Structure formats: C-alpha cells, structure tokens
Amino acid sequence: MQNYNSHGKLLLTAEYVVLDGAKALAIPTTFGQSLKVEKTERNSIIWESFDHDNKSWFNATFFVDNESFLVEKTSNPEVSDRLLQIFEAVKQLNPSFLKTTGYTISTRLEFPKNWGLGTSSTLINNIANWAKVDAYKLLELTFGGSGYDIACAQHDNPLTYQLTDKQRLIKTVNFNPSFKDNLYFVYLNKKQNSRDGIAHYKANRTNLDETIIGINHITNQIINCETLDNFESLLTAHEQLIAKVTNQTPKKDQFFKDFKGSIKSLGAWGGDFILVASKSNPTDYFNSKGLSTIIAYKDMII
C-alpha cells in the first residue's frame, strides 16, 4: 500500500497577475487531501473518493488495456472523464504508468469540496508523486493555471511564487505575523471556478506593468509587516490595484461597507474565502450577513 498527502493552498497576494509574472505570497493550509493506492491482480482501477465527513462522493471502475483506459461504471461521468484525462496525461509523461497491474485507489479530503482550497491541485500532486512525474507538467496538461497551488501542495511553509521567462521562482519565507490572532478567513458560501476567473481577467486586464510593480512591492511589504494597521492598509491597496486591472469591485465595497476592518479576496474574485483583518473578533458581524464559516488564521495555516 502506498499513501500520498498534499497540502491545500491559499493565495494571499497577486491573484490573477501571478499568471503574468507578479510575485505572489502563497500559504499551504492544514487541510489537504490524501491518496491511498493498493495493487490488485485485475487490469482495472477501482476508484473511490471520500469527502471531509468520510462520505463517499464519487466512485468508478476503469478498465486498463495497455495504452488506453475505459470507463466500466461511474457515479459521475463528468468526474470520471476528468480522471481519464489525468490518466492519459500521466501516460504522456510516463509511458510505463499503469501498464502491468491494476489498483484500488481511494482519496480523502480534509476540507469541504466547495471551499476552493485545492481539490484539484492536491489530487494532481498526489497522482504525480504516485506516477513519478512532474506535478507542474501534469497540471499544465490538465487543469492549467500558474502552478502556485502545486508549490503549496509540496511545501510546509509560506512561500513566494513567481513566473519569470517560463521559470518558477519558489522561495520559502518567514511569514508569521505578530498580529495573526487578528486575521480570519471567511467563506462566502459560493464556489468560484478559477478557470472562469482567469478567463475574465485575461479579457479585461489593463495597465499590467504598473500593476505588477505595485503588487510586487505590496507582497514584499506584507511579508515583513509588523503592525495590524499597516497590514490593513496594504490589503486595501492590493484590492484597489487588482480591482483596477480586472475591472471588478472589491468585496468590501460590494457587500461589507460598514465593516470596521480590512477585507481582501483570495484567489479568483467572486467566491471562496476572503481574508479579514480586524481588531475584534468579526464572527458576529459575518454571521449577521449569513456567513457562518469563519476560521482563525492559526487554524487554517500550517
């Protein structure tokens, strides 16, 4: 039996513009996903996926015939088709993969699927480790994206992530703010499709060079920030820059104008989590807005 584990991810800075070379601050989460692999005698893959409550949410059986994979049965054709795509991409990177035996495979999430913490990236990294292929190349052949989520899956510390001349610059950093007890993650009760968000960004981006310089400066300042007041100012400045380059409205201006603190979208704007910086516990405020998932920074981050 083989076991693989990968961390989830949160992108604290440079959402969208990380695709065009901005320096991002990314943080692995305590919540991740595991993959368990057991060999069988059959030429098939028996797959089952479990959610954070240990309930089965997907199962399928794939017949393996040397160079091809066929779905024998599935509880969700869309998910099984995506897995077929991943298997075929792995075969491109490692032609000997799944050639001589079958497997029983199970995955287990440690967070709700709709949280946007990396259901796909943790799966890709786990499969890449199992198949002994490059996880970044496997991501490119399947889901796409900047790859920062793969970096988070593979690291145990906060990191900066930057694409320059098609090279990845990944550096672990000491980001452990003294005011972390004033930071919270709030789930907006809406799953945002990253691919849709990226498509919107590419269709609307403007003033990129100026924006990237500004975001890089903010990322560096956030890493070294020593006070909550300064941190809040940096979050607000970051929101304004991304709002301008993507032609979108910051979440605080849209829904939380009366909130006494700072709010920053994380990842693709429109759903998933926001980062909240507040001098007092904001739980009652967000509960009054119908939002019940409020996670303290120390409970989310490794």
Q: What are phi and psi of 38, to 5 degrees?
A: -130, 135
Question: Helix, strand, or coil here: 182?
Answer: helix
User: Are residues 85 and 126 in contact, defined by beta-carbon separation less than 8 angstroms?
Assistant: no
Instruction: Look at residue 204 in the predicted model and tell me its pLDDT.
Output: 66
pLDDT category of residue 162 using cuts at 50, 70 and 90: very high
pLDDT in tens, 18-56: 999 999 999 999 999 999 999 998 889 999 999 999 999
Compute the average pLDDT of residues 215-232: 98
Q: What is the pTM of this model?
A: 0.94
pLDDT (mean) for 72-82:
97
As a whole-number percent, the residues of the chain with pLDDT over 70 amount to 94
Q: Which residues contact 230 (CB under 8 A, 6 or more apart)?
A: 221
Residue 64, pLDDT score:
87
Rounded Cα distance between 154 and 177, Å, is 22
C-alpha distances out from residue 217 to 10, 97, 155, 183, 250, Å = 19, 44, 24, 21, 20
Which candidate, 49, 38, 103, 98, places its Cα nearest to that of 75? 49
Q: For 270-299, how does the pLDDT look when each residue is reduced to its tens digit (9 = 90+)?
A: 668 999 999 999 999 999 999 999 999 999
Q: If pLDDT is split at 50, 70 and 90, which confidence band does 247 have?
A: confident
